[in-house]
Amino acid sequence: MGYEGLSSTFLRRETLTQAFLNEGAILDYFRGWNTTWTQPWKYFDGLPSVNRSQMVPCNASRFTVTQANQDYLRVTGDAAGVAMQPGGELFAFCPDGYFWLPPSCRAVPSTCVPFFTQDPGWGLDDMMQKVTAYGMPIALGVAKSWVEMALQVNGVFYWWTPDTTFLAYNPADIKFPPYDPNAYNGGDKRSTADAAKISKIISQDLSALAPKVVDFISSMRFGLSDVMGMMRDMLAPGQSHTDVACRWIKANVHAWELWLPDKTKCAPGFGLFDTRLSEFTGDREEPTFLECRACVSGTYSARLDDNRGITYVCMPCMPGTKQASGAALKCDFCQLGEFQDKSGSRSCVRCNISYYQDQLGSTRCKPCPSGTTLGFGSISVADCGCESGFINTASSPGSLKCVECGEGLSCPVASTLDGLVSGKAVFGDPFVPKILPDYYSTVDKPLDVYRLQILWTLAILAFGPGLIAAYYVQHFQARAATNVSAQETAVCAFAMIFSNLQCVGMLGLMMELPGSSLLRDISSAMQVLVMDIDSIGFNCVAGRSVPMRYSAMVLFFPLAVLWLMVCYLVSKLLPLRLQSCRWKGPETRSTVGLLLLLGFNTMCTVAVMPLMCFSHPSGMSSLLKYPSVACASDEHFVMVVLGLLVLLFALGFVALCSYAALAAPGWSRRRQQHSSVPGSREDFWICIRAAYFRMSQCQSTYRLIGPFLYTSASLTLRTPTFHETVLIIQVFSVKSFRFLFFRFRLDCWWFGVPLLLRGSLLSLPIAVATNYPAVQVLMWTFVLLIFLVVGVWVQPWKVPLLNTFDCIMHVCIVMIVASRSLHVGLKEDVVNFSAAADIVIMSTLAAAILILCVVTASAVVTSGG
């Protein structure tokens, strides 16, 4: 509620009337001040009548505002009215220091009419532009007491309405062009200033608390003449606000009757209420007993347009909606998991068990496909889950296929197959199905649960006896004939197959790329050969700590070597009647060497696992095989140290084998030299050499008993001579490194060392190019092709059949690696072609392995064992 206020330039009413009567001058209009046809200064006091001591100097008022003076100069072009200061400021120019003169009276100051405003200069910038633009002879000044100066001197003055300051003179305002908002805001103030809204602040919720009062106040209209008239009445002695207001109300009945509200005109939030029937109604045909009341809960206020105008009525909420509050403008939809099948309801009802609702504003709930829901108020079909002890194996959302959980699975209510794999559930951890301790399953087949702790325990317990059996296989094979036996061929074939399958397992450690499911399955299975055993539940026995599991893998080979050493020492405690069961030093060392030879690829792979840092899109890096371990973390540091120790252990083994390969020809040459020693040196050499093949053939002549040599011919026990000791050491050295030489032809005794280096060379690309699959493929192909060429060239294996199958396996592995290059950033059709190629290559490799196994097995059977 309120009215508009106007600020402008005013003059006394009596002066306005005198000018009009004398010469018809219209001084309440800006064009009536033009000196071309009027002389307005005749009706006002001149500048000499103004006491300068009651005026404010120009340089102490708003005449010094640079921006206002720049706007004046830009709009009017009157450069003489402003003066540039030494500091760059632009001031209004006042000839006498108190009054600024416009161009219309600047030459003759006596024709200027004084204008007064209050300090610091209200409306100065407006009047400077107006009097110059419209040729008005008005001199502008700032008074210390603007009210006193306007009452003492007959001039024009700044004022606003409504106000009682100059009301006794009944002043008239000078009309200027209408307000131009764009020009005025841009600094051009030649139009009238905008009127100001003079409002009363009321409560923001008054429309809800007292709508009739708001309606009445909103209809009130006061003209400026009404306000000024009532203010003029207040100037009379003894008048109060109430007296003045009552006189106005009595004199203007025709005005305020239109303000009275219609009792049937209801505001929003209210509705028509019939007091006779005590109920809300929807029409106002009979308004006698109608009034407006706030709508109650369960209803809302709806707009009604009829022949009497606009009003509001209370309507009940429709089914599927609710309204708990009163005076509401609308009803709210029932939320997800709720329904309402009745009208006029204050609230909605939650869906019962076995039902859900995934839409707003529903009148009924939907039944679950089968099974049950978690509880009341289910909001989605995804809430429909299986009962406890069952798991949902359906792949599509909204469907349900409950399967009973088998042994090793814990399935709470609403268990899902996705929750079993991801370890997360929509409703939280209590609803995540879990694999019980000591059980294990794979990601591909999560419902196939195995009790792996027992299997791992049995495997670990069986490993020790397996190493003991390997010793005796080595021992009896060393006593076999010098020619290549079927058993020796079978052992060589096994070692070759094992080494090539390790390569396939290492291929699975390369960065994941799309490929055929057959290749992925075979690579995953072969990864066991390179100690990637987390996929078969190794954490069931080693724990979930990654450093602990890695430490267990690192300690595998040192513990295996230590176990063989312990067995060797324990065998020395056997009685003399079991002397044949005592372990021999050379055979023990050869067994250790064979173990490390077969596991060398595995050691290299285990050593580089902590070096395989894979970069994520977020910028972080983690280990490729252990994504939970961040690179450069404390856990990663421990694993790197352990990996370096394994690498040093492997390099030490390579160095020892390299020494044996280099020293073997020297051992052979020294044997030729010692064979020419006089006496029975040749016979001695034959017997000692037989220790490499069949010890029983020379026991009748010479026999080693501890550090002494027993000669049966002379029945003497003596210390071996220097030459005899050298021959014994040479034979035993060859026998200790038998694992390195026995598989190859005599002219290719050295091939065991390059074969060892193949494992380290194949591990290198995985470590140095973890983030670059193409580089891995290139380096693997290069290494494998080099060994393929060398194998074809030297034909190192004793049995020609083994050379053939070794080449075939190498070609298949090279083709597998080459086919993976087709997956690096290519289209879907090339990926499908590569998958088909994988199947063909893997089938060829499997057929080669099968044929080799059949041939060697047949040879063993045919030879009679």
* More confident of the two residues 364 and 724: 364
The tens digit of pLDDT for each residue in 763-816 reads 777 777 676 677 777 777 777 787 778 877 888 877 777 778 878 887 887 777
pLDDT band at 355 (very low <50, low <70, confident <90, very high): confident
Q: Identify the residue whose tokens are 């997800």.
A: 336
Predicted TM-score (pTM) of this structure: 0.43
Find the mean pLDDT for residues 433-446. 73
Find the mean pLDDT for residues 119-135. 90
The tens digit of pLDDT for each residue in 288-329 reads 788 888 999 999 999 998 888 888 999 999 999 999 988 899
Question: 390: which 2 tokens?
Answer: 């069952």
Least confident window among 336-345, 460-469, 791-800 = 460-469
* More confident of the two residues 553 and 480: 553
The tens digit of pLDDT for each residue in 1-40 reads 566 778 889 999 899 999 999 888 889 899 989 888 889 9
Distances (CA, A) of 578 to 471, 479, 572: 16, 18, 10
pLDDT score recorded for residue 136: 92
- Is the pLDDT assigned to residue 171 strictly greater than 50? yes
- Is the pLDDT assigned to residue 747 strictly greater than 80? no
Read off φ and ψ for residue 90, nearest 5 degrees. -115, 115
- Is the pLDDT assigned to residue 745 strictly greater than 60? yes
pLDDT score recorded for residue 652: 85
* More confident of the two residues 724 and 186: 186
User: CA-to-CA distance for 391 and 405, rounded, in angstroms?
Assistant: 6
- Which residue intervals of 769-827 are DSSP H helices? 773-794, 800-820
Q: Give, rounded to a whole angstrom, the gap between the first and last alpha carbons of the chain.
A: 117
User: CA-to-CA distance for 715 and 822, rounded, in angstroms?
Assistant: 75
User: CA-to-CA distance for 40 and 43, rounded, in angstroms?
Assistant: 6
User: CA-to-CA distance for 99 and 47, rounded, in angstroms?
Assistant: 9
pLDDT score recorded for residue 615: 78
Instruction: Tell me whether strands 55-56 and 279-280 are parallel, antiparallel or unpaired.
Output: unpaired
pLDDT score recorded for residue 856: 79
632 in Cβ contact with 600 (< 8 Å): no
Q: Specify which of 11-15, 221-225, 511-515 reaches the highest per-range mean pLDDT.
A: 11-15
Least confident window among 27-41, 186-200, 370-384, 773-787 = 370-384
pLDDT band at 827 (very low <50, low <70, confident <90, very high): very low
The tens digit of pLDDT for each residue in 668-690 reads 555 555 444 444 444 444 444 44
337 in Cβ contact with 357 (< 8 Å): yes
9 in Cβ contact with 173 (< 8 Å): yes
Instruction: Tell me whether strands 156-161 and 113-118 are parallel, antiparallel or unpaired.
Output: parallel
DSSP state of 192: P
% of the chain beyond a pLDDT of 90: 16
Least confident window among 102-111, 300-309, 397-406, 444-453 = 444-453
Report, in angstroms and rounded to the nearest whole number, the Rg of the chain calculated over CA atoms.
55
Other beta carbons within 10 Å of 523: 21
Does the CA dihedral 194-200-205-209 come out positive or negative?
Answer: negative
The continuous run of DSSP H or E covering 752 comes out as helix 752-768
User: In terms of C-beta distances under 8 Å and separation of at least 24 residues, what long-range contacts does 64-70 make, across chains too?
Assistant: 64/89, 64/91, 64/92, 65/125, 66/90, 66/91, 68/124, 68/125, 68/128
pLDDT score recorded for residue 301: 93
Q: Specify which of 127-136, 587-596, 723-732 reaches the highest per-range mean pLDDT.
A: 127-136
Where would I find the beta strands (DSSP E) of 405-518? 409-410, 415-416, 434-435
The tens digit of pLDDT for each residue in 696-717 reads 334 334 444 444 444 444 444 4
User: CA-to-CA distance for 574 and 583, rounded, in angstroms?
Assistant: 10
651 strand-pairing partners: none
586 in Cβ contact with 693 (< 8 Å): no
- Is the pLDDT assigned to residue 382 strictly greater than 90? no
Least confident window among 475-479, 663-667, 695-699, 767-771 = 695-699
* More confident of the two residues 784 and 109: 109
User: CA-to-CA distance for 15 and 32, rounded, in angstroms?
Assistant: 13
Where would I find the beta strands (DSSP E) of 624-739? 702-705, 708-711, 716-718
Instruction: Tell me whether strands 402-404 and 409-410 are parallel, antiparallel or unpaired.
Output: unpaired
pLDDT band at 691 (very low <50, low <70, confident <90, very high): very low
- Is the pLDDT assigned to residue 694 strictly greater than 50? no
pLDDT score recorded for residue 660: 80
pLDDT band at 527 (very low <50, low <70, confident <90, very high): low
Does the CA dihedral 351-356-358-359 come out positive or negative?
Answer: negative
User: CA-to-CA distance for 664 and 750, rounded, in angstroms?
Assistant: 9
Q: Specify which of 237-251, 689-703, 735-749 reaches the highest per-range mean pLDDT.
A: 237-251
Distances (CA, A) of 174 to 130, 131, 501, 728: 11, 12, 107, 136
pLDDT score recorded for residue 521: 60
- Is the pLDDT assigned to residue 263 strictly greater than 50? yes
Q: Identify the residue whose tokens are 């670059």.
A: 772
339 in Cβ contact with 357 (< 8 Å): yes
3-state helix, strand, coil in the chain (%, to 5): 50, 15, 35
- Residue 397: CB partners within 8 Å, gap ≥ 6? 381, 382
Query: 312: number of CA atoms within 13 Å, CB side?
Result: 20
- Is the pLDDT assigned to residue 351 strictly greater than 60? yes
Find the mean pLDDT for residues 560-565. 81
DSSP state of 529: G
State the SS3 of 312-380: EEEEECCCCEECCCCCCCCCEECCCCEECCCCCCCCCEECCCCEECCCCCCCCCEECCCCEECCCCCCC
Sequence spans of domains, the chain:
2-199, 206-259, 454-659+749-859
Amino acid at 818: A
The tens digit of pLDDT for each residue in 570-593 reads 877 777 777 667 777 777 777 777
Other beta carbons within 10 Å of 824: 15
- Is the pLDDT assigned to residue 464 strictly greater than 60? yes
The tens digit of pLDDT for each residue in 593-614 reads 777 777 777 777 778 778 878 7
User: CA-to-CA distance for 741 and 423, rounded, in angstroms?
Assistant: 52
Instruction: Tell me whether strands 621-623 and 415-416 are parallel, antiparallel or unpaired.
Output: unpaired
- Is the pLDDT assigned to residue 546 strictly greater than 90? no
User: CA-to-CA distance for 560 and 516, rounded, in angstroms?
Assistant: 37
Closest CA to 842 of 865, 821, 817: 817
- Is the pLDDT assigned to residue 167 strictly greater than 50? yes
Read off φ and ψ for residue 8, nearest 5 degrees. -160, -170
Average confidence score pLDDT of the chain = 76
Amino acid at 577: R
pLDDT score recorded for residue 755: 78
Q: Identify the residue whose tokens are 């001695």.
A: 684
